A = this chain, B = another copy of it.
Amino acid sequence: MLVNVHRVVIVGGGFGGFYATKALRRAEAEVTLIDRRNFHLFQPLLYQVATGSLSPGEIAAPLRALLRDQKNARVLLGAAVGLDTSGKRLILDGGEIRYDTLIVATGARNFYFGHDAWESEAPGLKSIEDAMRIRGRIFYAFEAAERETDAKLRRAWLTFVIVGAGPTGVELAGALAEIARDTLRKDFRSIHTAESRILLIEGGPRLLSAFPDDLSAAAERSLTRLGIEVHKNARVSGVDRDGVTIEVQEGQQRIEARTFVWAAGVAAADFAGIVAKATGVKQDRMGRMMVNPDLTLPGHPEIFVVGDAANLEWHGHPLPGVAPVAMQQGRYAARAIKERLAGREPKAFRYLDKGNLAVIGRAAGVADFGRVRFHGWPAWLLWLTVHLTYVAQFRNRVLVFVRWGFQYLTFDRGSRIIPEREQEWEQKIDGQ
């Protein structure tokens, strides 16, 4: 290895950090990618793990295997727990590492707007474990309903509440409707799964607020057709083990339910707070750091922040927390480092909006490309193509395609294991 080669340390192996690492492939630099987990996660398909369509292994690829052939990169399993900016040292759990340039790509976590106690009842969907938890609760609910003899409790077990109607909430609601109406239809003897109640609770005046009005309306029609009850302008004011309380225009409403999913908000992961404290940089109310136009921190040109950990104003709004933003920012940071190593000053980051896609259950979706926008099955087909193309980078395309093909034809979902842990959780509820 060269002496005094430029050391780039990247924290986080999500879309931002992983694509930054890859883009440094030909840089005269020694790259270390640090993540608390040993895999890169294709988060846009996490809801498919939560609803039993895919296995965790199909959307998670070992970082090490992905970067096997990149000789200037190494991967370390570890958590970043501190930062010494003057010594340029990143503190790990059990160790430390020196950097010349640091890229912070630690992403987001679930955010409950000050109601952290709701997390145990209404898990969010950010990690593989979250997805397995939600999957377990969904499929356990039908099992519990089948056993339950009290009609009111049975009804509660068959009521599902999804909070937040962004892409994740909409996709989850659509998949859940398909599970209840098709997948499980003939599996039970005492209950009619198709009579399940699925509620989608949205605080704002419309679904998919990142999309134009007409597509929001189209998505709402698709969901309603699937039998999903959509509540707009509805704020959740309480979540407990027996149900949720929502505030609507007409006043307060109580919904008896047993299964809740939180898709209403995320905040920057905790490491952003450590960096903000060490550098004195400002955070927005979701914990994201206010970055310079070149994604560095004010006063710290050696620290880049990319993806969900950063707040960059773009045409008057912060960029959204989606995979394309993180990927473009990760690649930009890599390019900027290479420019600097070549003695040039990098230009500011520019975001290229390639459009917006969401699916709603089976063969329906919405697509927004500025002037061009459409919905229905063409949007769904496009979504399928785009996602298969990206997943391909992680080598599971054939498998995912085979599974989706089977599922489309048979309405079946192969991955319906209820994890032991969730079962214990549910039984604890029952026992109380």
Complex Cα spacing A419 to B406, Å: 28
Given known contacts A77-B144, A128-B420, what 12 new A-B pairs fall within 8 Å (CB)?
Answer: A36-B423, A55-B57, A55-B58, A55-B415, A57-B416, A60-B417, A62-B139, A65-B412, A69-B186, A93-B427, A395-B414, A399-B414
Q: In angstroms, how far is the closest chain B Cβ from the Cβ of A1?
A: 10
> Is the C-beta of A129 less than 8 angstroms from some C-beta in chain B?
yes
Q: In angstroms, how far is the closest chain B Cβ from the Cβ of A420?
A: 5
> Is the C-beta of A42 less than 8 angstroms from some C-beta in chain B?
no
Residues 305-340 of chain A, each 1 if its beta carbon lies under 8 Å from chain B, else 0: 000000000000000000000000000000000000
Q: A94-B430, A187-B68, A427-B93 are in contact. Are A62 and B416 (CB under 8 A)?
A: yes
Query: CB within 8 Å of B: which residues of A?
Result: 36-39, 55-58, 60-62, 64-65, 68-69, 74, 76-78, 93-95, 127-129, 139-140, 143-144, 146-147, 184, 186-190, 395-396, 398-399, 402-403, 406, 412, 414-420, 423, 427, 430
**Which residues of B lie under 8 Å from residue A60 when comparing CB positions?**
417
Query: 24 A-B pairs, CB-CB below 8 angstroms?
Result: A37-B417, A37-B418, A39-B418, A55-B55, A55-B56, A55-B57, A55-B58, A55-B415, A57-B414, A57-B416, A64-B184, A64-B187, A64-B188, A65-B187, A76-B146, A77-B143, A77-B147, A77-B418, A93-B427, A94-B147, A128-B417, A395-B414, A398-B402, A399-B403
Complex Cα spacing A37 to B406, Å: 25
**Which residues of B lie under 8 Å from residue A187 when comparing CB positions?**
62, 64-65, 68
